[in-house]
Structure formats: C-alpha cells, structure tokens
Amino acid sequence: MTVAGQVEEVVIDKDSKGGKGKRNSTINPGESRLAFMLIAPTILLLALIVGYPIVKAIYQSFLTDPGLDSATGMFNEGNAWNGITNYTHWLFQQCATADGGTTSCPQGTLGSQFWGAFGVTVFFTVVTVAFETTIGMGFALIMNRAFKGRALVRVAILIPWAIPTAVTSKLWQVIFDPEGILNRILGTHFAWTSSLWPARSAIIIADVWKTTPFIALLILAGLQGISNDTYEAAKIDGANAWQRFTRITLPLVKPALAVAVIFRTLDVLRMYDLPAILTGGSNGTTTSSILVVRQLTSGINSASALSTITFVLIFLIAFGLVRLFNANIIGAQAKGVR
Amino acid sequence: MSTATALETQPAAPASHEAPRRKIHWGNIGTGAVMAIIFVWCLAPFYWMLVLSFRATAYTFDTTPWFTHLTLSNFKYAFNPEFNPFGRSLVNSLIIGTTVTAVSMVIGVFAGYALARLVFRGKGFVLAAILGASMFPGVAILTPLFQLFSGFGWLGTYQALILPQISFSLPLAVYTLTSFFADMPWDLEEAARVDGCTPGQAFRLVILPLAAPAMFTTAILVFLASWNEYLLSSVLSNGVTSVAPSTVAIANFTAGPHIVPYTQTMAAGLVVTVPLIIVVLLFQRRIVSGLTAGGVKG
C-alpha cells in the first residue's frame, strides 16, 4: 500500500523536473562509477534476500518432495527430478495415485483448492478495488471542495491506514461477532464469519474500511493539482457538471488513479493477514497466499511450485493492467527522477 | 450522484469568501455532511476498540456507545506473561523495526542519492529492479526462506525476522528517498560553495538540514511498514514467542479454553496502535507528503 504512494509521486514528478533536464545529455564515466558504488549495496542485498530465494524456489519447484512413494510404498527422500509434475498437480488439481497415475485431488486436500483459492483472491481484488476507488473518488472530490474540517479529516484518514492489519482483523472479528455491535445495530443475527458469503463480505468490508481513506488521499493529491481556471473555462464554454467531471477531472487524475489501482490490485492479490486472522481462511476465504503458507509444512518443493505459479499469475495480471491503463510506470519513473 | 453535485459548486468554492452569501448553500451543507461521514467512517471502528478496551469483560456485548463499566484489568491481563507473551512482543517489534529501519536507511540513502542526482546508464533498469523486488508477493520469498532458515537453524531467531523484511523496506526507503532528493534544491549547494563554503560546510550547513526531514519521514514510513508486518513474521518466528513481534502476539491472543478474550484483545490492540497514532498525529503533514508528495505540493 505504501509503495503506491511513492510511485505515484515519482510519476507526477515527470512534469516538474524543470531545470534538471540538461544533466541528461552527458554521461560522465566518473559519475557512473560513483553511482555504481552507491547503488551496489542495495542491489547486492536485494539479490541476496529476493533474487536468490526466488531462483532457488523455481529450481526446487521441479523436484520431488520427501514422502512415501505411492508407486513402491517405500519412503522416498525426495529432491529427485520431477519435471513439471508439481505444476500439473496444482494447475490441473491432479494427485498421484497408488498405481503411479494421477487422479483428481480429493475434496478437502490442498491440491483440490488451487483454482478455488485463486478465484476467491481475484474476486476479493475486483470487488475491493472497485469499491475502494469509487468511494475513494467520492471522498476525494468532497474533501477537495470542503474548506472547513479538511485538516481534521486528513488526520482521521491516516488512522485506519496506520492500524496494523493484524489489529484491524481482530477489531473486525469483535465487531462481526454474532453477539457483536454490528448485528445489534442492524438487528440481525448473522454468523458473519462462519458461512460462505457473510465471511467473504466481512473480509471485503474490513478491507474497504481500511483502504478507502488512503485511496481518497492519493486521489485528493491528484485533484489538488487541477487548476480551478480549467473548470471555470469549461463552465463558460457551457460544460455541465457531469461533462466537467468526465472531460476534465477524470483525464487529469487518471495517472494517479491508474497507479493507485495497479498497486492496490497487487496488494489484494497477495492478501494474507486479514483473511488469515479474521476468518482463518475458512468458509471460502482461503486466498492464494494462505494456500501457500498451508503447503509450506507439507512439502516445500510443491510449495515452491505453488508460490511460483502464484507470482507468475500476479505478474501477468499486473502486466495486463499496465497495458490496459497504458501507464508507463517504469518509464515515468526513470524520466521523473533524472 | 454525489460526484456530480460535488463539481457543481467546486469552481465557485474558493471564491465564495469574496462574494457575499445571500442564500443558503445546500451544497456546503451536503459537503459538511459527507465530511462528517468520512470522519465517522475512519474513526468509528477505532473508537469501538477504545471503548471495549476499557470495559469490564462481563459487559463485552453491551452496546452502550460510550465508556461504561470502566476498568484497567484488560491491560493488566494483556501484559500478564502467564497468559500472553504480549509485553515481550512489543520489545521484539521495537528491536525488529529499529534494526530494519536502520539498515534500510543506511543502505538506501546512498542508492537514493545516486538515483536522484547522478547520471548513469541503466538507471531505468535499476529502478525497475528495485521496484520489482518489492512487488513479489511475500509468499514467493517466504517458501525458499523458510527452508533456507530451517537449514541454518534460524527459524525463531531475530535474524530470520529481520532479514526478510529488508525485501520490502529497502525498496520503500530507496523510492521515497529518491523522490524526495529529486525535488531538493541542490543548486543551493553550489551557491554555498560560491559564497565561500568548503564542500564539508556546504554539506553540513545546507544539504543536511534540507535532507534531514526527508530522511526522517522515510524512516517513519519504513518503521511503520515493519511494525505492521505479519505474514513473514508469523511463519518465520515458527511459534517462538520470545522473538515474535506484536502483530503475531495479537493474532494468537488467548484467554484459555472457552473464553473469548475480546476486551483483552482490544486492550492489546490499542497498545500496539496508540504509538502509531501518536506518530501519525505528530507528523501528519510529513507522512502525507511522503505518501503523495508530488500531488500535494501541486
């Protein structure tokens, strides 16, 4: 979530780089060497903590896990070449059988849950991001207009953002209790966290509560860059409120909005804390990340295949979104900070 | 639709203090109402946590919306090491957060300076690589690290909790510092040199005071991210409560069989959250500028 803000800032920067442009033309070898020395520690550390583990995981995802060999009935030490079996296990939900073949994984095993978990994750992503950007846009438009109380609201907005997700999850668990405040207010007796759709709604409500104000803050930053003269001119030319919104506001906040949507999407696609604590992943709230963590203790090489599939899918979705919004994030950054 | 009405009067709003008001501005009343809704939206759940944490456990499900049946026993319970390793977990969070922040800042400040100030080939690639590193889902590095650390016998140690957090805190530090540094008036450094400062003086008297707030804000953001981390810590602490941070302690908060420790959990949650709220209130402007800099400055 926090990263979204950083990047947006850099994207916006590209318009305001001002006099720094002239430095682009010359590449001084001494300066390059200095830059390399300054950046090396960061790259080395990230290569060690992120790069190496990921390469190792990809390698391991092609190996067998230790366990009873279903074909021979003997204990198998694992780590033998396994081809793409770990991948077909997850992608086609196929489990090994005693005769060495494969069959659909039985209900309830982790192997049978891959597409279900991925579907739920995508569902959470689409619904929460849609709610958060729509409501966040509304909040931002109002905050941009209001002069009294804006400082107060801006402080309030940072509070859901600052509360750790672990605490947020516990807080909503209390609110969602069958005897809890929400049921009392609504006059209902929902068992919010113990059946399918109420449990999913609970996750969505808690996430929307926590993140909408933050999205509003990001959009507000974009709105404040739009000059009032633009609206005045459009008004004189006879544009009505809706036209001014769709022809001026939306196009001008689009870069900020696109970055917020892309990074929020990436965040929800790896959602773990909220469902893991609020519902324990039960009642159809097992996200892809929860599935990986469950698999960790029952076969690390298979878990490696699962986490590889998960990040490849997330990467593909991110790539698609960047194309969809035509947002040149990396390019904008490179340009912006020169 | 609220968005449409919002825009109706928007252009007029800044000028409204110049023109005498003759009629009631329904738009302003609507704006005020929505501002109130945003305020309640943000604070109501937090307020409920506050109320419950000071309420006697027997009245957990009492819906009185203000402070009743006041007690401090929830806090005593939360800090009682017999039931929960909560006090210890706060110290752990502090140790982990401070180390992660210090390492990320010391290493990130060099990269941030180079990316913001120096011209070199492959800058776009370096930026993409650093951003990409932070974009990997936590589980993607968690799986191999879990195995690696169990091989080292590191599961349930501080280093196993600190090192993986660098994966997101270092890119966060580099990015925030890069964009802050890119916006700094570096020409002043040259001006100071022209006015007779030595390079050391120019750095100490001109650049450092300018960079300090940016670094401070970045440090706050990195520390907050570390303090709030749960996924990596919950798995890599491997049940060892003497090193687990407060997010893990909160998630596993118990009160023995058949007891739902709601009020006690809320008290613990409040203790974890209040320092963050204080930081947010004190440095509100800095944090917002750190999160949305380019836009807010307009």
Find the domain containing B245 and state its range: 84-252
Bridge partners, residue A75, by sequence? A68
For A318, the closest chain B residue by CA position comes to B135
Of A219, A201, A214, A220, whose CA–CA distance to A128 is shortest?
A201
Q: Tell me, what amino acid is at B153? A: G
Q: Is the pLDDT reported for residue B79 higher than 70?
A: yes
Can you tell me the distance from the alpha carbon of A150 to that of A101, in angstroms, rounded to the nearest whole number? 65
Q: Classify residue A18 by its DSSP letter.
A: G
- Tell me which of B38-52, B56-70, B166-180 is least confident: B56-70
Q: How far is CA B148 from CA A3, A60, A79, B143, B247, in A?
A: 27, 12, 15, 9, 23
A172 touching B (Cβ < 8 Å): yes
B162 touching A (Cβ < 8 Å): no
Residue B28: inside a domain: no
Can you tell me the distance from the alpha carbon of B45 to that of B94, in angstroms, rounded to the nearest whole number? 26
Contact B136 A164 (CB under 8 A): no
Residue B143: inside a domain: yes
pLDDT of residue A71: 58
With 0.80 as the threshold, say if the pTM is over it. yes
As given in the structure block, the two tokens for residue B133 are 């590193």
pLDDT of residue B90: 93
User: Residues 178..237 of A with a Cβ closer than 8 Å to B: which?
Assistant: 179-181, 184-185, 209, 212-213, 216-218, 220-222, 224-225, 228, 231-232, 235
pLDDT in tens, A228-253: 888 888 888 888 888 888 888 888 88
pLDDT in tens, A154-197: 888 888 988 999 999 999 988 888 787 888 888 777 777 777 88
User: Would you say the C-alpha torsion A303, A306, A307, A308 has a positive or negative sign?
Assistant: positive
C-alpha distance from B67 to closest chain A C-alpha (Å): 14
pLDDT of residue B111: 92
Can you tell me the distance from the alpha carbon of B28 to that of B9, in angstroms, rounded to the nearest whole number? 9
User: Residues 196..255 of B with a Cβ closer than 8 Å to A: which?
Assistant: 221, 224-225, 227-228, 230-231, 234-235, 246-248, 250-251, 253
Contacts of A32 in chain B (CB under 8 A): 118-121
Mutation for B interface: A50, A143, A229, A306, most B CBs within 10 A:
A50
Residue-wise over A136-164: b if at least 16 C-beta within 10 A, else e? bbbbbbbbbbbeebeeebbbbbbbbbbbb
Number of domains in chain B: 1
Residue B216: inside a domain: yes
Using 50, 70 and 90 to split pLDDT, how confident is the model at A68?
low
Close Cβ partners of A238 (under 8 Å, ≥ 6 residues apart): none
A252 touching B (Cβ < 8 Å): no
For B233, the closest chain A residue by CA position comes to A273
Kind of pairing between the strands at A75-76 and A94-96: unpaired
Mutation for B interface: A163, A312, A330, A335, most B CBs within 10 A:
A163
pLDDT of residue A127: 95
Q: Classify residue B19 by its DSSP letter.
A: S
Contacts of B113 in chain A (CB under 8 A): 38
Can you tell me the distance from the alpha carbon of B84 to that of A335, in angstroms, rounded to the nearest whole number? 51
**Of the partner residues B148, B251, B290, the one whose CB lies closest to the CB of residue A277:** B251
Q: Is the pLDDT reported for residue B289 higher than 80?
A: no
Using 50, 70 and 90 to split pLDDT, how confident is the model at B256?
low
Can you tell me the distance from the alpha carbon of A297 to that of A222, in angstroms, rounded to the nearest whole number? 45
Of residues B68 and B172, the one with the higher pLDDT is B172
Is residue B38 within 8 A of residue A149, CB to CB? The reply is: no
Contact A167 B272 (CB under 8 A): yes
As given in the structure block, the two tokens for residue A71 are 């074909």
Q: Which domains does chain A have, with CATH numbers?
A: 112-336 (1.10.3720.10)
pLDDT of residue A125: 93
Contacts of B110 in chain A (CB under 8 A): 38-39, 41-42
pLDDT of residue A74: 63
Residue B274: inside a domain: no
Of residues B256 and A297, the one with the higher pLDDT is A297
User: Residues 111..130 of B with a Cβ closer than 8 Å to A: which?
Assistant: 111, 113-116, 118-121, 123-124, 126-130
CATH of the domain at B219: 1.10.3720.10
Residue B201: inside a domain: yes
C-alpha distance from B89 to closest chain A C-alpha (Å): 13
For B50, the closest chain A residue by CA position comes to A171
Contact A12 B294 (CB under 8 A): yes
Our separate counts of H helices and E strands in chain B read 14, 0
The ipTM of this complex is 0.82
User: What is the total residue count of chain B?
Assistant: 298
Residue B18: inside a domain: no
Residue B109: inside a domain: yes
B86 touching A (Cβ < 8 Å): no
Q: Is the pLDDT reported for residue B13 higher than 80?
A: no
Residue B270: inside a domain: no
Contact A334 B127 (CB under 8 A): yes
How many pairs of residues across A and B have Cβ atoms under 8 Å apart?
Answer: 392
Average pLDDT, chain B: 82
pLDDT in tens, B112-138: 888 888 888 888 888 888 888 877 788
pLDDT in tens, A28-66: 777 888 888 899 999 999 999 999 999 998 998 888 777
Q: Is the pLDDT reported for residue A115 higher than 80?
A: yes
C-alpha distance from B8 to closest chain A C-alpha (Å): 5
Of B11, B115, B16, whose CA–CA distance to A335 is shortest?
B115
